[in-house]
């Protein structure tokens, strides 16, 4: 039986997720975690790719783990999770980013990530996740990973349409995480509030990688201070006890409906794309001339494409002036050139060519 989207997510969700998640999952075969497609193995000179370091890969991101997934990790008796559990307990003991709702990176890390993502994602150990296992390059808590780690791929079979779909899935899952973590915390200690510091601002403790002041931490945790692992495990129990109706009451609403609709429409675009009536070369293409053609970068710096000189010249024939069918017929009639629809659809998904409309 094929893996469904339900199957590919942490087990705690599987009895809660709506009908969409029964669909067969998209397998991003070009994104190979066990043999990283973004780690250069051939020298990579002139191919337009900023390769990842093999001792970081794409794990230069620290997750915001909701309370119930932390509890799932701590409760799991799988021996393979022993190292992940040790690291989770160590992070809790540090008291940095430890709140009733989340186990998160320090705010200093978040500022660094936002500033350095373009230059250093996948390429700096300073951004590396604390749950990344350098010996083997795998994740110590993967079984109970959060939304971003569940949905990030460096390359997509559906090109930009594939990326848009996975981003919409991450957005829906993050919405669920926020609702569920707040619900779980409220079942145990409704009097507790999440600490708030405006985005982009740092306290002195943040800047110096220190835990918050003792009084601030005690205020955050109340009677649960010193019993944080127990709190997280009970949050897991609260979510594990939900049925589908309970999940819908917590997560549902107008925002959920909007995000769910986007999920379905973006899945259709990624898996059953339609060729646009009119196409033109993407005016935002980044071009790098090489022997025999050009390397183009479009929707993602992780997935440049090599176009032969002949194909690149042919693609310049497409514009808003003619329908795609008319251009194809003219190319065949005048130059005996045949471009398969499947090739054009693929180039459209990669955003090498983009839909255009007739002006006026």
Name the residue among 264, 250, 59, 92 with its Cα closest to residue 168: 264
- What pLDDT was estimated at residue 136? 84
- What pLDDT was estimated at residue 41? 63
By DSSP bridging, strand 138-139 and strand 132-133 are antiparallel
Residue ranges in the chain whose pLDDT is less than 50: 44-46
- What pLDDT was estimated at residue 42? 59
């Amino acid at each position: 039986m094929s893996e469904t989207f339900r199957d590919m997510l942490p087990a705690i969700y599987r009895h809660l997720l709506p009908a969409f998640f029964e669909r067969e999952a998209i397998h991003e075969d070009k994104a190979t975690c066990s043999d990283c497609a973004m780690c250069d193995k051939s020298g990579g000179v002139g191919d337009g790719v900023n390769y990842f370091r093999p001792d970081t890969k794409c794990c230069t991101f620290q997750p915001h783990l909701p309370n119930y997934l932390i509890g799932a990790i701590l409760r799991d008796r799988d021996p393979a999770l022993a190292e992940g559990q040790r690291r989770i307990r160590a992070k809790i003991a540090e008291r940095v980013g430890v709140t009733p709702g989340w186990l998160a990176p320090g705010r200093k890390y978040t500022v660094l990530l936002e500033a350095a993502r373009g230059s250093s994602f996948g390429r700096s150990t300073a951004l590396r996740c604390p749950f990344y296992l350098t010996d083997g390059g795998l994740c110590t808590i993967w079984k109970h990973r959060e939304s971003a780690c569940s949905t990030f791929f460096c390359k997509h079979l559906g090109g930009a349409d594939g990326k848009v779909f996975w981003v919409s899935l991450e957005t829906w899952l993050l919405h669920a995480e926020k609702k569920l973590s707040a619900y779980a915390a409220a079942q145990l200690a409704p009097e507790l509030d999440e600490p708030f510091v405006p985005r982009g601002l740092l306290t002195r403790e943040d800047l110096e990688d220190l835990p918050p002041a003792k009084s601030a931490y005690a205020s955050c945790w109340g009677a649960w201070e010193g019993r944080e692992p127990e709190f997280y495990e009970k949050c897991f129990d609260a979510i594990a006890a939900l049925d589908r109706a309970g999940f819908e009451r917590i997560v549902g609403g107008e925002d959920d409906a909007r995000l769910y609709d986007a999920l379905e429409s973006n899945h259709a675009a990624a898996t059953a794309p339609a060729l646009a009536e009119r196409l033109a070369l993407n005016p935002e293409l980044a071009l790098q001339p090489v022997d025999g053609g050009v390397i183009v970068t479009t929707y993602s710096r992780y997935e440049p494409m090599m176009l032969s000189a002949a194909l690149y010249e042919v693609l310049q024939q497409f514009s808003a002036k003619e329908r795609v069918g008319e251009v194809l017929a003219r190319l065949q009639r005048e130059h005996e050139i045949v471009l398969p629809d499947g090739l054009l659809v693929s180039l459209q998904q990669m955003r090498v060519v983009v839909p255009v409309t007739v002006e006026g």
